[in-house]
Amino acid sequence: MKAYLALTKPRITWLILMSTGIGFLFGARDWGWLVLLWTLVGTGLLASGTATLNQWWEREADARMRRTRHRPLPAGAITPGRAFAWGVALSLAGFGVLALGANLLAALLGLFTLLSYLLAYTPLKRRSPHSTTVGAIPGAMPPMIGYAAAHGALTTEAWILYAILFLWQFPHFYSIAWLYRDDYAAAGIKMKPVVEPGPEATARLIVWTCLLLIPVSLAPSLVSMTGRLYLIGALLLGFGFLYSGLRAAAERTLVKARGVLVASVVYLPLLYALMVFDRRGL
């Protein structure tokens, strides 16, 4: 069971569920705790199924990378056939829970997330550094799923939450790619630091996406989703995140790249906490 659980990447799933919950909060007209529960369970199952199927697909590449060679499949803790069946079962269960416990729109958005991640992003990683952009499309879907589950439709508020998470992913994943460039190169994965070994291009992209994230993160206050407290807090968090990117661009060291990664992991939960605390009508 430990191997099956590891395939679901629970440390990533909690972040996905947090984003889903934020989407549900802003989409809800009236609180439906049971619908929220089914939405989180269904999204969690779909996310776990996607993570499992992704590892099944990339098991040979994972075996060539130091940071992933101890995952259940390359380590031989579970057979590919069983991992595939586990991933399919989780995904089908997640779709069913979302369709029956929330609504069909949320389930279809979840299905789109799974298919675009596995059939577009995963194979593109071996062909182009633009896979990061393609992967950010399904990666930003959790708040949309939560919003659709609560609201039954997608409005401007849902797209704002989507845009924030979409942009946040770039400095987060570029910093990871910078830190593990040699691993990605060994596996034949064409991340930006692999095709352009110098850190300059990656550092520039981190700075630009951190910069773009600042005005987008302020949008919830501009459309009255949140109040002035969130506006000030989001501005401060955005400049703090940007500062970590600027330091990485100036010094171009692995230590500063790791600083961007840490900043990204701190930034998003704090931003979400501000949204919840300063939500209009709460």
State pLDDT tens for residues 96-125. 999 999 999 999 999 999 999 999 999 998
State pLDDT tens for residues 45-99. 999 999 999 999 999 988 888 888 899 999 999 999 999 999 999 999 999 999 9
Q: Mean pLDDT of all residues in the chain?
A: 93
Q: In the chain, what are the domain boundaries?
A: 1-154, 155-282
Q: How confident is the model at residue 282 (pLDDT cuts 50, 70, 90)?
A: very low
Domain 155-282 = CATH 1.20.120: yes
* pLDDT score recorded for residue 37: 96
Buried b (16+ CB within 10 A) or exposed e, 18-56: bbbbbbbbbbbeeeeeebbebbbbbbbbbbbbbbbbbbb
Domain 1-154 = CATH 1.10.3660.10: no
Percentage of the chain lying above the pLDDT 90 cut: 79
Q: How confident is the model at residue 281 (pLDDT cuts 50, 70, 90)?
A: low
State pLDDT tens for residues 209-237. 999 999 999 999 999 999 999 999 999 99
